[in-house]
A and B are shown apart, each in its own frame.
Chain A
Amino acid sequence: GNSVTQMEGPVTLSEEAFLTINCTYTATGYPSLFWYVQYPGEGLQLLLKATKADDKGSNKGFEATYRKETTSFHLEKGSVQVSDSAVYFCALKRETSGSRLTFGEGTQLTVNP
């Protein structure tokens, strides 16, 4: 079946540090890949997406590249801010799943000043 595996958290960084959150997936066919972010007390928000191999999604300084050969979609940011503290979820959607998402378990990021 479809599954998403994220690196274990929590992750604690200092402001301006480089961020990588690993995400790998298992799926048949060619799924679309997403990163969602959940700030404290809020609902999930789409951060970025990629719909085919080698696509790079980017938003708010975050980037992730769809790597089919390694079945990965790692999230990166060159310089994190305190305001980036949140829980980050990697997710996939199969071609035929009618927009149903399969999520990873989430990675808590805390950025200290």
Chain B
Amino acid sequence: DTGVSQDPRHKITKRGQNVTFRCDPISEHNRLYWYRQTLGQGPEFLTYFQNEAQLEKSRLLSDRFSAERPKGSFSTLEIQRTEQGDSAMYLCASSLPRGNNSPLHFGNGTRLTVT
């Protein structure tokens, strides 16, 4: 069990640029989640996949955000035309689908800074 891996750890970009983050879940986990965490706040749900299907999206996920999980393994989160308000820690988590009580395993996150 190598845990949930996220890349990069840090990303600094200029406003208006596009950025893409990658998440590799624990290998046998078929559920994958993206959360966003701003300073001093708890994580906020963005979206979740079961295998390759994106089953739920938060209202926080504006049209500039898109997430994919094409083969049901790793996932990418792209933000287009970044804004300073997008600066946050982006967390990925994965879990097994054992009812609704399977714990989420989080990665260390990607910290995005938009200048």
Give A contacts to B, CB under 8 Å.
4, 32, 34, 36, 41-46, 49, 51, 89, 91, 93-106
Contacts and interface: CB of A to CB of B under 8 A. Distances in A.
B100 A32 contact: yes
B102 interface: yes
B41 A95 contact: no
B102 A99 contact: yes
B106 A101 contact: no
A91 B42 CA distance: 9
Interface stretch (B11-19, B43-51, B60-68, B71-79): B43-51
A98 B42 contact: no
B40 interface: yes
Given A43-B107, A43-B108, A103 B100 contact: no
A106 B100 contact: no
A93 B56 CA distance: 14
Interface of B: 4, 31, 33, 40-45, 48, 50, 55-56, 91, 93, 95, 97, 100-109
Contacts, number: 66
Contacts of A49: 101, 103
Contact of A89 (B42, B48, B102, B109): B42
B91 A43 contact: yes
A14 to B, nearest CB: 24
Nearest to B95: A99
Contacts of B41: 105-106
14 contacts: A32-B100, A34-B103, A43-B4, A43-B106, A43-B107, A45-B106, A89-B42, A89-B43, A95-B100, A97-B100, A98-B55, A101-B104, A103-B42, A104-B42
Contacts of A36: 106
Given A49-B101, A98-B100, A100-B56, A42 B108 contact: yes
Nearest to A104: B42
A34 B100 CA distance: 13
A99 B108 contact: no
A53 to B, nearest CB: 15
A44 B43 contact: yes
